[in-house]
Structure 1
Amino acid sequence: MSALEAGFAAETPLAAIIRETILTSPSIGETDNGDVLSAIPFHQYMTLCLYHPEFGYYRSGTSRVGREGDFYTSAYVGELMGEQLASELMRLADEWLTGVESIEVMDWGGGTGRLGRHMMDTWEKASHSEGLEGTRAERFILTVVEGNPAHRRQAIEELADYIELGKARVIGNEEGSSMSFPDHPVIIVANELLDAFPVYRLVKRGGRLREWGVVWEEAGRRFIPCLMDPTNPRLEEWIDNEGVRLLDNQTIEVNLDAADWVADLASRLDRAMLVFIDYGDETEELITPHRMDGTLLCYYKHRAHNDPYLLPGEQDLTTHVNFSHIRRVAVHSGWKELRYGTQKKFLVESGILEKLSAHSLTDPFHPTVRRNRAIRQLLLSDGMSELFKVQIFVKA
Structure 2
Amino acid sequence: MDSVKTAFAQTPLFAIIEDSIRNSILAGRLENGSKLSAISFYHYMTLCLYHPEFGYYRSGSSKVGRNGDFYTSAYVGELMGDQLASELSRLAEQWFPGEESVNVLDWGGGTGRLGRQMMDSWNGIGDDGPGPERGLKGFTLTVVEGNPEHRRLAFEELEPYIEAGKARVLDNETGVNIPMGEQPTIIVANELLDAFPVHRLVWRDGKLQEWGVALNEAGGGFVRCLMEPTNPRLPEWVRDEQIALLDNQTFEVNLDAADWVADLSERLERAILVIIDYGDETEELIAPHRMDGTMLCYRQHRAHNDPFEAPGEQDLTSHVNFSHIRRIAAIHGWTERWYGSQKKFLVDSGILQKLSAHAITDPFHPMVRRNRAIRQLLLSDGMSELFKVQILVRT
Q: Tell me if structure 2 keeps the 8 A contact 1:126–1:134.
A: no
State the AA in 2 paired with 1:136: L
Q: Structure 2 CA distance, aligned partners of 1:290 and 1:146? A: 35
Q: Structure 2 CA distance, aligned partners of 1:120 and 1:135? A: 11
3-state SS of 1:65 partner: coil
Superposition deviation, residue 34 in structure 1 = 2.0
**Segments of 4+ moved more than 6 angstroms:** 126-132
State the AA in 2 paired with 1:45: Y
Q: Structure 2 CA distance, aligned partners of 1:187 and 1:17? A: 38
State the AA in 2 paired with 1:370: R
Give the aligned partner of residue 201 of structure 1.
Answer: 200
Q: Structure 2 CA distance, aligned partners of 1:133 and 1:119? A: 12
Give the aligned partner of residue 378 of structure 2.
Answer: 379
Q: Structure 2 CA distance, aligned partners of 1:144 and 1:134? A: 21
State the AA in 2 paired with 1:62: S
State the AA in 1 paired with 2:243: V
Q: Tell me if structure 1 keeps the 8 A contact 2:86–2:133.
A: no
Instruction: Spell out, residue by residue over 1:329-380, the C-alpha distance to the aligned partner (whole angstroms, 9 max, x if none).
Output: 1111011100110000000000000000001111111111111000000000
Q: Tell me if structure 2 keeps the 8 A contact 1:113–1:155.
A: yes
State the AA in 1 paired with 2:346: L
Q: Structure 2 CA distance, aligned partners of 1:21 and 1:250? A: 27
3-state SS of 2:360 partner: coil
Give the aligned partner of residue 13 of structure 1.
Answer: 12
3-state SS of 1:111 partner: coil
Q: Tell me if structure 2 keeps the 8 A contact 1:27–1:40.
A: yes
Matches within 5 A, 1:245-260: 245-260=244-259
Matches within 5 A, 1:70-109: 70-109=69-108
Superposition deviation, residue 298 in structure 1 = 0.2
Task: Please say if 1:351 is aligned against 2:350.
Answer: yes
Counterparts in 2 of 1:98 and 1:16: CA distance versus 1, 3 Å: same
Q: Structure 2 CA distance, aligned partners of 1:220 and 1:272? A: 52
Q: Tell me if structure 2 keeps the 8 A contact 1:103–1:185.
A: yes
Give the aligned partner of residue 286 of structure 2.
Answer: 287
Give the aligned partner of residue 305 of structure 1.
Answer: 304
3-state SS of 2:278 partner: strand
State the AA in 2 paired with 1:293: D
Q: Structure 2 CA distance, aligned partners of 1:90 and 1:50? A: 34
State the AA in 2 paired with 1:263: A
Instruction: Spell out, residue by residue over 1:209-240, the C-alpha distance to the aligned partner (whole angstroms, 9 max, x if none).
Output: 11000000122111010000111110000000
Superposition deviation, residue 183 in structure 1 = 3.5
Give the aligned partner of residue 60 of structure 1.
Answer: 59
3-state SS of 2:33 partner: coil
Superposition deviation, residue 178 in structure 1 = 1.7
3-state SS of 1:13 partner: coil
Give the aligned partner of residue 190 of structure 2.
Answer: 191
Counterparts in 2 of 1:374 and 1:129: CA distance versus 1, 3 Å: closer
Superposition deviation, residue 272 in structure 1 = 0.6
Instruction: Spell out, residue by residue over 1:171-212, the C-alpha distance to the aligned partner (whole angstroms, 9 max, x if none).
Output: 000001122215421100000000000000000111111100
Give the aligned partner of residue 39 of structure 2.
Answer: 40
3-state SS of 1:178 partner: coil
Higher helix share: 1
Q: Tell me if structure 2 keeps the 8 A contact 1:300–1:314.
A: yes
Q: Tell me if structure 1 keeps the 8 A contact 2:106–2:115.
A: yes
Task: Please say if 1:340 is aligned against 2:339.
Answer: yes
Q: Tell me if structure 2 keeps the 8 A contact 1:42–1:214.
A: yes
Superposition deviation, residue 135 in structure 1 = 4.4
Counterparts in 2 of 1:46 and 1:9: CA distance versus 1, 3 Å: closer
Instruction: Spell out, residue by residue over 1:246-297, the C-alpha distance to the aligned partner (whole angstroms, 9 max, x if none).
Output: 0000000000001000110012101111000000000011000000000000
Give the aligned partner of residue 316 of structure 1.
Answer: 315
Give the aligned partner of residue 267 of structure 2.
Answer: 268
Q: Structure 1 CA distance, aligned partners of 2:125 and 2:102? A: 15
Q: Normalising to structure 2: TM-score of the pair?
A: 0.96
Q: Tell me if structure 1 keeps the 8 A contact 2:104–2:185.
A: yes
Superposition deviation, residue 9 in structure 1 = 5.0
Q: Structure 1 CA distance, aligned partners of 2:368 and 2:214? A: 52
Give the aligned partner of residue 116 of structure 1.
Answer: 115
Q: Tell me if structure 1 keeps the 8 A contact 2:9–2:311.
A: no
For structure 2, the residue ranges without an aligned partner over 5 or more in a row are none
Give the aligned partner of residue 218 of structure 1.
Answer: 217
Q: Which moved further from structure 2: 82-91 or 9-18?
A: 9-18
Q: Structure 2 CA distance, aligned partners of 1:158 and 1:272? A: 26
Q: How many residues align structurally?
A: 390
Counterparts in 2 of 1:117 and 1:221: CA distance versus 1, 3 Å: same
Superposition deviation, residue 101 in structure 1 = 1.4
Superposition deviation, residue 58 in structure 1 = 0.2
Q: Tell me if structure 2 keeps the 8 A contact 1:103–1:141.
A: yes
State the AA in 2 paired with 1:202: L
Superposition deviation, residue 132 in structure 1 = 7.8
State the AA in 2 paired with 1:210: Q
Superposition deviation, residue 62 in structure 1 = 2.1
State the AA in 1 paired with 2:136: R
For structure 1, the residue ranges without an aligned partner over 5 or more in a row are none
Q: Tell me if structure 2 keeps the 8 A contact 1:100–1:184.
A: no
Give the aligned partner of residue 136 of structure 1.
Answer: 136
Counterparts in 2 of 1:17 and 1:357: CA distance versus 1, 3 Å: same
Give the alignment's Cα RMSD to 1 decimal. Answer: 1.7
Counterparts in 2 of 1:328 and 1:134: CA distance versus 1, 3 Å: closer
3-state SS of 2:154 partner: helix
Give the aligned partner of residue 180 of structure 2.
Answer: 181
Q: Structure 1 CA distance, aligned partners of 2:197 and 2:110? A: 18
